[in-house]
Amino acid sequence: MSRSNAPHGDSDATATHGLSPEAWSPRTLAAQALGRIDPVTRAVVPPLHLSTTYLRDPDNAYRSGFSYARPDNATTREAEAVIAALEAAEAGALLFGSGMAAAAALFCALERGDHVIAPEVMYWGLRRWLRQEAPRLDLAVDFVPMQDPEAVRAAIRPGRTRLVWIETPGNPLCTITDIARVAEIARAAGARVAVDSTAASPIHTRPLTLGADIVMHSATKILNGHSDVVAGVLAGARKDAFWERLTAIRGGWGAILGPFEAYLLMRGLRTLPLRATAQSAGALKLAQRLTAHPLVSAVLYPGLPDHPGHAVAARQMEGGFGYMLSIRVAGGEAAAIDTAARVALWKRATSLGGVESLIEHRASVEGPGTPCPPDLLRLSTGIEDPDDLFRDLDAALTGAHGAVG
C-alpha cells in the first residue's frame, strides 16, 4: 500500500493567486492546516475518519490508498502533514500513541550492538527506559553533558556510534545543546542525530534545518496544548532505509495514534504559533522578574543573558526561548515543596505546554539518581497573564519561607 503525508482532497486555498503552502509562514500553515477543503462536503475543517477497514476494488486492489487502520489513517495523515510542513521534514512525519512510543521506536530501529550517545539532562522517563531496556536490545548507551560538544566527540566509538540523541532545551534544567555543531560531529562519525524538541516546538526551533536527521516531539505537550491528548511524533529529514524501518515498526507494532486523538491534535496545531509565542513571552517575563526575587536562588531559562547556553539558544531558536523554566528555591527542598503546595493559579501536575500553567517538584517525581536538585521547581508557563502568575508564585514563596524559616 502506498503511503504519503500529503492530505487527500483538493484545496481552494492552494490555488488562490498561485500561492502554495510552501510559501506560507508557519503561522499560516498551522492556522490553515495546509488549506485543505473536504472534497465531499466542502467543509473547512477536515472530517474525522473512524473506520478501521476499507472497501477493496473489484480486482482486490486498494486504489484509495487505505486498507486497514493499524498502519494508516486519513485523519492521522492530516495532522502528520501539518507537523511535517512546520518542521520542513521532507520524509514526512509519523504519529505515535505517545512520545515514549515514538522515542522507543527510534531506538528499536537500531541494530543490535549499536552505540548511542544521550544527554545527562533529559526527560527522566526516556532516561530510565534507556538504562533499563536498551541493554536488553544489546544497545550501548553513554550519557554525556550534551551541552559540551567536545564531550560528545570524546564519547564517539568509531564504527559503533550510530545515534546521538539530543534534548534541547533539556528537561528540567534547561540545558542548551548546539544542534548544528553536534550534528557535524555525529555526521563525521557516521551517526544519525535525533532531537527531542518538545520544549522548543517547531515555532522556535527546527532541528532538521540545523543538520539533525530526525526530530521527536511529545505531542502531548505544546503541539496539542490543551492537556487532553497523549501523542508522540517523529519527523524525518529524508526518506531512507532507516525511515522506512521506522514506518514498518509503527505499522507492525500497531503504535499509530488513533484518529480521534489525531483530530484533537489537529485542532491544537491550528493555534500553535499563537500559543507558543504567548507562552514563550510569558516565560521570559517571569524569568526576568524571578531573577530578582529574594526567595529564589537561581532561575534556569535560556532566554536570560547570563544562562550558560544563551548565546547558542539565541542562534538556533527564533522568536522566543520556550515555555519551560525552572527555579531553585531559597530554603532548600522543604521550601520548594511547600511553595508548590501554596499556589492557586499554578496547578501541581505533571506535563508541559498546556494553556494552563503547571508547577512540579521534579526531584520527588524522578526519584533516586535524578540530576535534578531537590530545591528545584519546574514551571510550564501557560497563556495566563504573567503578572497574575508572578503574584501567585510570589505569595507562595513568601508563605513557604515564613513556614519553613
pLDDT in tens, 278-331: 999 999 999 999 999 999 999 999 999 999 999 999 999 999 999 999 999 999
Q: Which of 36, 127, 206, 221 is catalytic?
A: 221
pLDDT in tens, 126-138: 999 999 999 999 9
Cα(347)–Cα(193) distance, integer angstroms? 35
State residue 339's pLDDT score.
Answer: 98
Asked whether residue 4 carries a pLDDT value surpassing 60, the answer given is: no
Asked whether residue 97 carries a pLDDT value surpassing 60, the answer given is: yes
Cα(94)–Cα(218) distance, integer angstroms? 12
Angle at 330 between CA 328 and CA 333, to 5 degrees: 70
Q: Which of 3, 27, 70, 267 is catalytic?
A: 70
Query: 16 φ, ψ to 5°?
Result: -65, 120
State residue 207's pLDDT score.
Answer: 98
pLDDT more than 90, % of the chain: 87
C-alpha torsion sign, points 110, 111, 117, 122: positive
State residue 2's pLDDT score.
Answer: 37
State residue 38's pLDDT score.
Answer: 87
Asked whether residue 385 carries a pLDDT value surpassing 70, the answer given is: yes
Q: What number of residues does the chain have?
A: 405
pLDDT in tens, 344-362: 999 999 999 999 999 999 9
Q: Which of 114, 196, 338, 375 is catalytic?
A: 196
Element of type H or E holding 286: helix 272-291
Cα(236)–Cα(87) distance, integer angstroms? 9
State residue 8's pLDDT score.
Answer: 45
Q: Which of 123, 263, 301, 323 is catalytic?
A: 123
> Does the active-site annotation cover 123?
yes
Amino acid in position 294: P
Sequence-ordered list of residues with C-beta below 8 angstroms from that of 17, at least 6 positions apart, any chain: none
pLDDT in tens, 167-211: 999 999 999 999 999 999 999 999 999 999 999 999 999 999 999
Cα(302)–Cα(305) distance, integer angstroms? 8
Closest CA to 114 of 187, 153, 152, 163: 163
Q: Is the pTM higher than 0.85?
A: yes
> Does the active-site annotation cover 36?
no
Cα(343)–Cα(324) distance, integer angstroms? 17
State residue 15's pLDDT score.
Answer: 45
Stretch 387-405: mean pLDDT, rounded? 92
Residue 94 binned pLDDT confidence (cut-offs 50, 70, 90): very high
Asked whether residue 14 carries a pLDDT value surpassing 90, the answer given is: no
Amino acid in position 215: V
> Does the active-site annotation cover 57?
no
Cα(230)–Cα(219) distance, integer angstroms? 7
> Does the active-site annotation cover 323?
no
Residue 19 binned pLDDT confidence (cut-offs 50, 70, 90): low
Stretch 51-67: mean pLDDT, rounded? 91
State residue 405's pLDDT score.
Answer: 62
